[in-house]
């Protein structure tokens, strides 16, 4: 599995520029006026992982297939969107379909690029977006609570559970706090996710800075970092302009360019890594002469469910997983060497897959 990250923010903060760079496409029109992105643009990017290249080299795999991440560039939000201002409900509906939200915040000064509020204040921008999402969630919950009343009176257990969760979320929202701060018990998680609350989604703040501040950040991004830490959210510092330039270069040119700017890696790599941590994701590999392939799972996934990511039949007929840790695969020069060194393990249905595991599944058809 991959995951969908919605790129949101006020108009003219660099969302579309960043999207173009991340997906190496001009599908999202980057222009200096609000709402240049009218429909959500969806782009998939390969998740960079040096381990996959190493495994393919050792196994002499004919092809390399990385796991993928989906970015959704969502139309610019303005104050009042929850009431239909700007693109209003269209924006809110598009967010519901994502797994996480990346708030792109303008942390650069540029007189040639207008700010919708006439000033540069990323913390205020983040609060504007959060407020609109909170209002939208409140209105959604109030309507649903009215509609569910009859089922609750009739003793419908699922409806009673939904009402309890909706009331807990509404109480949090009425305090001006996002729904993700509600403590949800394990037995309620399924119903909680079905509420599809905008403010229940994990948030990653993306500080868009000038090119010469990409390595160090600036005073504005420092304020965002402080805000993120206080909220328990994550943040990354990126220059959308740099990412756009890198997207036009080959690997060697990009490495030289980054080095000149004092950067160890592209912003895409940092963004993906932050996204993985945000959603508690990890990667396992399947390796052979035909292909070396990466697969994304959530941390804590058991072997049968990990097999199901490849194909449902693998999970249904799961027998065992032959497992080699990445470091052992490399140190032993591949699968055969790992077997001979006693580094291949047979794991059953209760095995929790670890990041970097090289797996081969045995199953009944």
For residue range 101-118, list pLDDT tens digits in order. Answer: 999 999 988 776 656 556
pLDDT of residue 255: 87
> If you ran DSSP here, which 8-state letter would residue 302 be given?
B
Report CA torsion sign: 219, 220, 221, 226: positive
- Are 66 and 46 in contact by the 8 Å Cβ rule? The answer is yes
Nearest to 203 by CA among 237, 178, 182: 178
Longest dimension (CA), the chain: 68
How confident is the model over 32-89, as pLDDT tens digits?
434 344 455 788 888 888 999 999 999 999 999 988 888 888 765 555 545 554 444 5
- Which is the CATH superfamily of the domain at 300-363? Beta-grasp domain (3.10.20.30)
Nearest to 71 by CA among 16, 19, 21, 2: 19
As a whole number of angstroms, the distance between CA 304 and CA 312 comes to: 10
Locate the domains of the chain by residue range.
4-278, 300-363
The SS3 call for residue 300 is coil
pLDDT of residue 85: 47
pLDDT of residue 1: 54
- Are 306 and 360 in contact by the 8 Å Cβ rule? The answer is no
> If you ran DSSP here, which 8-state letter would residue 78 be given?
-
Residue 298 φ then ψ, to 5°: -85, 145
pLDDT of residue 320: 96
- Are 44 and 139 in contact by the 8 Å Cβ rule? The answer is no
Low-confidence ranges of the chain (pLDDT < 50): 25-38, 81, 85-88
pLDDT of residue 306: 96
Taking residue 318's Cβ as centre, other Cβ atoms within 10 Å add up to 21
Structure tokens at 204: 């990653």
Q: Give 27: exposed, middle or buried? Use CB within 10 Å, 0-12, 13-18, 19+.
A: middle
CATH topology of domain 4-278: Rossmann fold (3.40.50)
């Amino acid at each position: 599995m991959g995951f969908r990250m919605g790129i949101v923010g006020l108009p003219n903060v660099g969302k579309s520029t960043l999207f173009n760079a991340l997906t190496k496409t001009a599908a999202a029109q980057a222009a200096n006026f609000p709402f240049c992105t009218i429909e959500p643009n969806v782009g998939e990017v390969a998740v960079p992982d040096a381990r996959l290249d190493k495994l393919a080299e050792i196994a002499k795999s004919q092809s390399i297939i990385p796991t993928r991440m989906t970015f959704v560039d969502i139309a610019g939000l303005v104050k009042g969107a929850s009431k239909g201002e700007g693109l209003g409900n269209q924006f809110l509906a598009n967010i519901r379909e994502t797994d996480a939200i990346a708030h792109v915040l303008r942390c650069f000064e540029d007189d040639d690029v207008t700010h919708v509020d006439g000033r540069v204040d990323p913390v205020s921008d983040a609060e504007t977006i959060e407020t609109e999402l909170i209002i939208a969630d409140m209105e959604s919950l109030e309507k649903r609570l009215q509609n569910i009343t009859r089922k609750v009176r009739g003793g419908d257990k699922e409806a009673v559970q939904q009402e309890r969760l909706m009331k807990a979320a509404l109480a949090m929202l009425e305090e001006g706090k996002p729904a993700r701060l509600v403590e949800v018990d394990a037995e309620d998680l399924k119903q909680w996710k079905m509420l599809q609350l905008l403010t229940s989604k994990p948030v990653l703040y993306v500080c868009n800075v000038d090119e010469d501040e990409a390595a160090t950040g600036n005073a504005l991004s420092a304020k965002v970092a402080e805000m993120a830490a206080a909220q328990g959210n994550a943040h990354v510092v990126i220059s959308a302009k740099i990412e756009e330039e890198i997207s036009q270069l080959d690997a060697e040119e990009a490495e030289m360019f980054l080095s000149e700017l004092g950067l160890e890696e592209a912003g895409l790599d940092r963004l993906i890594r932050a996204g993985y941590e945000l959603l508690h994701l990890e990667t396992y590999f399947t390796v052979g002469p035909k292909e070396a392939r990466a697969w994304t799972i959530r941390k804590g996934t058991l072997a049968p469910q990990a097999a199901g990511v490849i194909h449902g039949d693998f999970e249904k007929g799961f027998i065992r997983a032959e497992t080699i840790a990445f470091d052992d695969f490399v140190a032993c020069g591949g699968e055969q060497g790992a077997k001979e060194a006693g580094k291949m393990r047979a794991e059953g249905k209760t095995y929790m897959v670890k990041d970097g595991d090289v797996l081969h599944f045995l199953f009944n058809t």
